[in-house]
Every structure is written in C-alpha cells, then in structure tokens.
Chains A and B, each alone.
Chain A
Amino acid sequence: MTVLDHRPTDPVPGWLPGATAPRTDPAPLLPDAAPVRVLGAADLAKYDPALLLDLYRRLVAGRRYNQQATTLTKQGRLAVYPSSTGQEACQVAAATVLAEDDWLFPSYRDTLAVVGRGVDPLEALTLLRGNAHTGYDPKATRTAPLCTPLATQAPHAVGLAHAARLAGDPTVALALLGDGGTSEGDFHEALNFAAVLNAPVVFLVQNNGYAISVPLTQQSAAPTLAHKAVGYGMRGRLVDGNDVVAVHEVLAEAVDRARAGGGPTLVEALTYRLEAHTNADDATRYRQDAEVTAWQEHDPLLLMERQLRAAGLLDDAAVARATEEAEALAARMRTEFHAEPQLDPFSLFQHVYAEPTSQLLEQQAQLAAELAAEDER
C-alpha cells in the first residue's frame, strides 16, 4: 500500500498530522488585519505621560543624531552612515521596551536603538567611523555588535534567548531586521528554531519599503511580512512603524509574553526610510519625490508632536528643551569626531585568538620593523 492508497477508515499512521499532538490552529497566529495605531486613533490619557514625553525626547534626539552623523559622512569623518531618519520610532521603541538584562541584536541601521540601550553615542559609531569594529562592550550593555551580513544576527538572538531560558533567567532577546533581510535563509532558520524551541525572542522587521533600491513587491509576495510568522507556528503582529506609542505597545506586549514563556513573536513595523540607503546611494534612481513627500507628512516626529500638543502634554518650552538636549548631543559628536582617533596598529593582532599564534607573532614583528623603517625615513 502506498500513501496514495490510504483510506480514511485505516488507522492513521503515526506520522500524519493529528495522529499525535494536535498542531497549532493558525487563526490566533495571524497578524493584525490593519497596522496597529495609537496616535490619532486612541486617547492618550491611558498612557503614562512620563513615558510619552520620554519617547518624544528620544525621537527628537534620534533625529538630530541621524542628521549629525550624515553630515559627518559628508565631511569624511565617518566612513559610512546608514541613516534611520524616518524610522526613529522603531529604533526608540526597540530600545525602550527592553529590561536592563534583555539583549538587543541590531543590524547596521540600528545605531539609535543601540544608543537608546545606553551605549555611548560615539562608541556606537566606531564601526561606521572606521576606527574599530565594535566600540562598546556587548556584555556590559547586553547589546550585540551592529551586524552587517543581513539577518545573520537573528539566530544568535534565538540561541541567546534559548540559553537564558535553560538557565532559568527572565531574559528576552530582540532582533532587528529590515524587509530585505527577511528573504535571507538565516531569517527563516531563526524563526523556525525560535518557534520549535519556544525561545523568548522577538523579531522586529522594520519594513521601510526598500532594500537599497529593490521595492518590497520584488522582495516578497507575502500579504504582509508578518504573515511569515504563521508558517513557523509563531504569532505575527503588524504595526504602524511611525507611531512610536503603537510600536512600543506592540513590542512591549511581545516582550512580556516571551518573558512569561509564551514564545516568540514576529512584528512587522511599516515605516519609511526618508534618506538614501547610505551616503553612497542615489535614491532618485528608484523612487519618486512625491512618494518621499507623502511619507514626510507621516513623519514619526510630527505625528508624536501633534498628538502630544493636542493632548496638552507638550508645549513650546518642552519642545525647546528637547531640541536643546539634542543640540548638545550633536555638538559633542562634532567635537569628538574632529579630533583624530587614537589608533594602535598592533591592535590588528590582538583578539584574533585567545593567545596569538606563532604566525601572528611573526607578522606582528614584521609590522614593527616596517613601522620602524618608516620612522627612519
């Protein structure tokens, strides 16, 4: 008898779905039918005003940080800067939903989230400045290095969350990805592992419409990226990524749920990259000004400021204070990046292995000789 000959009256073979444990009903996993929105849709009175003002201040500081870093690339002070202008709400929410012992797994565009975790704003930029790879101590800040190979940080988040759960610790890991990154194999393997292991991990996809020049329609045919969760047996959520309160709420709920043993969540935040991919990109080749202008009206800062003012939580003085704070940060960036960084050529040979190999020691001596010869000239 073959599988095709199998008749319903026969005893169900052990490997068929339903023969052992019932598999998950997909319905509760399906993402929100429309992106979750708070600003403009809900009464802000039920939110803690201190939280709202904190989110606002972080948005303002984040925007200024993005602008200053972009200017620094134009001056040649940074090697490259993938700006998150327009995406600050996702960055701010990602940083503020995590507890101190939780871990953040950022990708290259997520400097603001890293800074939001408490990493020094200048140390967060060493990779992009070009003086070192990771300027901060990932363990001290529970923030993984900015990750350049797309989606490869996602399985790390799963492994760390899994290990924490085995240790009985309440740690949650949050992995940040872009829409393009969801096409990579590592993204899918990470989701599958997370669901199978029931790991306390949250994936936030910042869907900003483009992977460099390629629009979402050419990236994925899924109804939403959040739908991808369902196939792995994980909950998907869809949120307006420019609504900082909504992103915070959806992420916080997912983090709490993961912490309580409820398993992983995939959150898709719909947002837009207002600047080019990086300073090296020419965005006019692949998108129209009208599209950018339309999204400028939906700027996360404008939405938040308008709502907070309407709710009577923000006045000109508070706006001025937030702006001043942001200016102080920008001034610090300018001063420090004008100074030449201290570089040690012999750091090249450090931290390749716990103990340098004899080969590395020989090469280090070679470099020393080369430097000495240069000095004599």
Chain B
Amino acid sequence: MTPTRTASMAQALNSALRDAMREDRSVHLLGEDVGKLGGVFRITDGLAAEFGADRCLDTPLAEAGILGTAIGMAMYGLRPVVEMQFDAFAYPAMEQLVSHLAKMRNRTAGKLPLPITVRIPYGGGIGGVEHHSDSSEAYYASTPGLHVVTPATVQDAYGLLRSSIASDDPVVFLEPKRLYWSKAELDQAAGSEPIGRAVLRRQGRSAVLITYGPSLPVCLEAAEAAAAEGWDLAVLDLRTLVPFDDATVAQVVRSVGRAVVVHEATGFGGVGAEIAARVTERCFHHLAAPVLRVTGFDIPFPPPMLEHHHLPGVDRILDAVAKLQWEA
C-alpha cells in the first residue's frame, strides 16, 4: 500500500467519508443529490454505489427536514453525516440546528448526545451567484453545543472530517469550497486529526496572521510577499473555531507581539472580533500594537464580478501589517 498520494481536497473528503463508512456501519449520509450524482461538488461520489441508497440517501429538498430527520436517526443510534448543498441554503435548517442539534445533549442531561456532522461548503472565490458564497461561521460559532471545524489543507480535510464523524458531539464542518480543487499529498494512513488544535503553518518573528479555511492560502501568499519587504510573518491556522485553541493562539501572539486576524466573512460581529478580544484580554502586556482585523466588508456577499473587491487579498493584509507600526 502506498502511504501517500496526490489528492484534491474534494477527494480527501470523499476518502474520509468512505473510510468512515467502511469502518462504522452506523455512519449514514443524507442530503440533496448526494446519491447517484455524488453531490454537486462530488464529495459523495461513488458512496451510494458502494454502500447502498439507504446509507447514502437522496432526500427530498428540505433542509430542516434533512437535519431534523438526521436528529431522529441519531436518537436511534446512527451517526448521520448531513450535506447542506451550499452555505446560504443551510439557513432553513437553522432552527433544527440551534434549538435541537446544539442543545439536545444539554436538554437531556447527557442522555441524548447527537453525533451528527453537518458538512457545509462555504465561502466565496468561485464566482458563485447570490446565496452561493456566504461565510456563515459566526452563526454557528456563537451557538453553544456545536463544534465548528474548518480545514484549509488536503490532509486536514481528511483528518478533521474523520474526527468530526467520530465525535459524539455535533460538528458543523465548514468546507472552504474554493479549496475543493487544491491538491497536495494525502496520507490516509495518518488517520484522524484531533479537533480543537491550531497549528503554525509558517514561523515568523515580526507578526502573526491568525486565520482559517479559505483565507489560509491568501495569508501564506501575503507572508511570502511580506518577506520580500523584510517582514517575517508567522501564519497560524486555527482549523477549529469551537473549541477555540486559546493556549496556542496566546502562546504564538506572546512570542511575536503583533497579530492580525484574517477572514473573508463580514467583520462586524464576526469571529475575528471575538479572536481579537480574546487575544487582547490574554496578551495585553505582550502586544506592541492593537490586534487588527482584515475581513470582508459588512455587505451582503457581492455579485461574482465584484467579489474580488470584497474578499481580503494579499494587499489588504499587507496594509494591515504595515499599520502595526513597524519598528524598522
């Protein structure tokens, strides 16, 4: 067996689902077009053929119904993985998500945990029209009872999805859809990657870019560009928004002294605000400058031909870095 192969993020997610279904008969997939078609992004490609239409179920078109049905299935001992077709089309399921998925363990004093993974392709950058590019992580992250996971690499897509499916808690698994086709080495044998841990993707001494999901490659690119100007930027990939890895974030910020939070969701009330506040509360005496945020504008997601103005790019990140009042 070859331990590694080159794979896209979409293929890594597909492999994670397949391996999870092979290992555990209680893993069932359900969603719109997940069966024969293999999902509109083909993440469930071939799974209905291998595991049957019952375990990879094409449901009627109704998000509350899909998630509500999955909750009942989990109450009976199954481990459902739900696919929401696009970020903005998960909203009809919001009530099931907030009132039941997130709270059932708590409401029943631990008697009814819901081991459900809700996979949601999210974010812009693929030229999608209205309602196909939302970054909805703040809604989920501010709902106690949910884990919120968002991988940025091919290996994490595999490892974090395996952990999410194995988790006895509900997980909102946000897939950065513009990275679906990014390719890298995948080591399936490495198995699952624990959720709740941030990882430093790039060492640096001048400042740290704190980011996740679709913005990771942008931050890495910005760090390269900054190096040419003599700035040595670290890049921290959160990978999980809930639980939040306060320890790693604080450790990195303290050692560097300057931080910029980068995400493409709107800034007002976004997770960047939360992160900046937490970092300030914990690292105030180590900070040489205020924590800055680089985010999308506070607007509904723009039409595709204008989205590049909204999405934080390298220049916007470098501008923020410059604002940290560099001492030579």
Contacts and interface: CB of A to CB of B under 8 A. Distances in A.
Contact of A193 (B59, B105, B110, B168): B59
Interface residues of A, number: 44
A166 B55 CA distance: 10
Contacts of A158: 65, 68-69, 72
Nearest to A148: B99
Nearest to A195: B60
Interface stretch (B12-20, B241-249, B258-266, B312-320): B241-249
Contact of B109 (A103, A156, A350, A354): A350
A360 to B, nearest CB: 9
A159 B107 contact: no
User: Chain B interface residue count: which class?
Assistant: 35 or more
A155 B68 contact: yes
Nearest to B108: A134
Contacts of A133: 106-109
A152 B99 contact: yes
Interface string A154-187: 1111111111101100010100000000000110
Residue of B54, B65, B168 with most partner-chain A CB within 10 A: B65
A134 B106 CA distance: 9
A357 B195 CA distance: 11
B62 A357 contact: no
Given A133-B106, A159-B70, A185 B92 contact: yes
Contact of B95 (A144, A149, A171): A149
A156 B110 contact: no
Contacts of A134: 107-109, 111
Nearest to A127: B107
Contacts of B78: 163, 166
Given A134-B108, A353-B169, A357-B243, A152 B65 contact: no
A351 B60 contact: no
Interface in B220-273: 242-244, 246-247
B108 A156 contact: no
Interface string B57-68: 001101011011
A160 B106 contact: no
Interface in A346-361: 347, 350-354, 357-359
A144 B75 contact: yes
B80 to A, nearest CB: 8
A116 to B, nearest CB: 20
A186 B95 contact: yes
Q: Describe A's contact surface by its main secondary structure.
A: helix
A138 B71 contact: no
A186 B68 CA distance: 8
A189 interface: yes
B243 A159 contact: no
A377 interface: no
B100 interface: yes
B73 interface: yes
A352 B147 CA distance: 11
A132 interface: yes
Contacts of B74: 159
Contact of A155 (B65, B113, B144): B65
Interface string A54-69: 0000000000000000
A155 B72 contact: yes
A353 B62 contact: no
Given A192-B65, A350-B110, A159 B246 contact: no
B64 A185 contact: yes
Given A139-B111, A152-B99, A353-B105, A162 B73 contact: yes
Contact of A357 (B60, B95, B104, B242): B242
Contacts of B144: 352
Contact of B76 (A163, A186, A351, A359): A163
Contacts of A164: 76
Given A167-B76, A186-B65, A189-B65, A138 B108 contact: yes
A312 B72 CA distance: 45
A31 interface: no
Interface string A127-150: 000001110011110001100010
B105 A156 contact: no
Nearest to A164: B76
Contacts of A350: 109-110
A94 interface: no
A353 B243 CA distance: 10
A267 B75 CA distance: 24
Contact of B64 (A132, A137, A145, A189): A189
7 contacts: A155-B64, A156-B68, A159-B74, A159-B75, A351-B108, A353-B169, A357-B196
Interface of B: 54, 59-60, 62, 64-65, 67-78, 92, 95-96, 99-100, 104-113, 144-145, 147, 167-169, 196, 242-244, 246-247
Interface of A: 103, 132-134, 137-140, 144-145, 149, 152, 154-164, 166-167, 171, 173, 185-186, 189-190, 192-193, 196-197, 347, 350-354, 357-359
- The 7 A-B residue pairs whose C-beta atoms are closest, nearest first, are A159-B72, A155-B68, A189-B65, A163-B76, A159-B69, A160-B72, A357-B243
Given A137-B111, A192-B60, A196-B60, 20 more contacts: A134-B111, A139-B111, A145-B112, A152-B96, A152-B99, A155-B68, A156-B100, A159-B69, A159-B70, A160-B72, A160-B73, A163-B77, A171-B76, A186-B65, A189-B60, A192-B62, A193-B59, A193-B65, A352-B105, A357-B242
